[in-house]
């Protein structure tokens, strides 16, 4: 029954009993990201007088994928095709100095500093515009 309802609504939007949907978690991830970096450069990290070399976010696989979805404007189809990271894996993002458009997130994957040294796995070929 649950699987049939999930297939009908979609994996991203389906709420399991006593749980949240990925869409619910996405809303919280977006609020966190906006508070951290802010719009117009007025986020928690941007407004501090100290200089930060990096920001470390430790969280679960679903939340990492949702952060990437938020940051890179992934479609639901792309989000659903990317797998969660496995135990002890991490993704490294670096500030892009080549930000050429307003749609650009200003960040890019750094596979050399990620573990394992690759982009996140997907169940199908996806076109990710950075």
Q: How many angstroms from the chain centroid is the CA of residue 125?
A: 18
Positive/negative CA dihedral, 95, 99, 101, 102? positive
Residue 50 or residue 111, greater confidence: 111
Residue 12 or residue 123, greater confidence: 12
Whole-number Cα distances in Å, 75 to 16, 54, 59, 79, 107: 22, 27, 21, 6, 17
In contact, 107 and 96? CB cutoff 8 Å: yes
Please provide the average confidence, as pLDDT, over all residues in the chain.
82
Q: Which of 93, 85, 82 is nearest to 126 (CA)?
A: 82
**CA pair distance 95, 106, nearest whole angstrom:** 6
Tell me, what's the pLDDT at 46?
A: 67
14-69 per-position pLDDT tens digit: 998 899 999 999 999 999 988 887 766 677 776 555 677 778 889 999 999 999 99
61-103 per-position pLDDT tens digit: 999 999 999 888 899 988 989 989 999 999 998 887 765 655 5
In contact, 36 and 43? CB cutoff 8 Å: yes
Tell me, what's the pLDDT at 100?
A: 60
């Amino acid at each position: 029954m649950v699987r049939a309802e999930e297939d009908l609504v979609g994996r991203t939007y389906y709420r399991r009993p006593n749980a949240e949907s990925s869409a619910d978690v996405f809303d919280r991830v977006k609020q966190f990201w906006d508070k951290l970096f802010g719009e117009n450069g007025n986020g928690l990290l941007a407004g501090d007088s100290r200089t930060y070399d990096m920001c470390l976010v430790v969280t679960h696989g679903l939340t990492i994928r949702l952060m990437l979805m938020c940051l890179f404007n992934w479609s639901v189809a792309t989000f659903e095709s990317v797998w969660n990271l496995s135990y002890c894996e991490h993704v490294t993002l670096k500030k892009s100095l080549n930000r050429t458009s307003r749609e650009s997130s200003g960040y890019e994957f750094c596979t050399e500093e990620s573990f394992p040294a690759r982009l996140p796995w997907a169940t199908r070929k996806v076109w990710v515009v950075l």
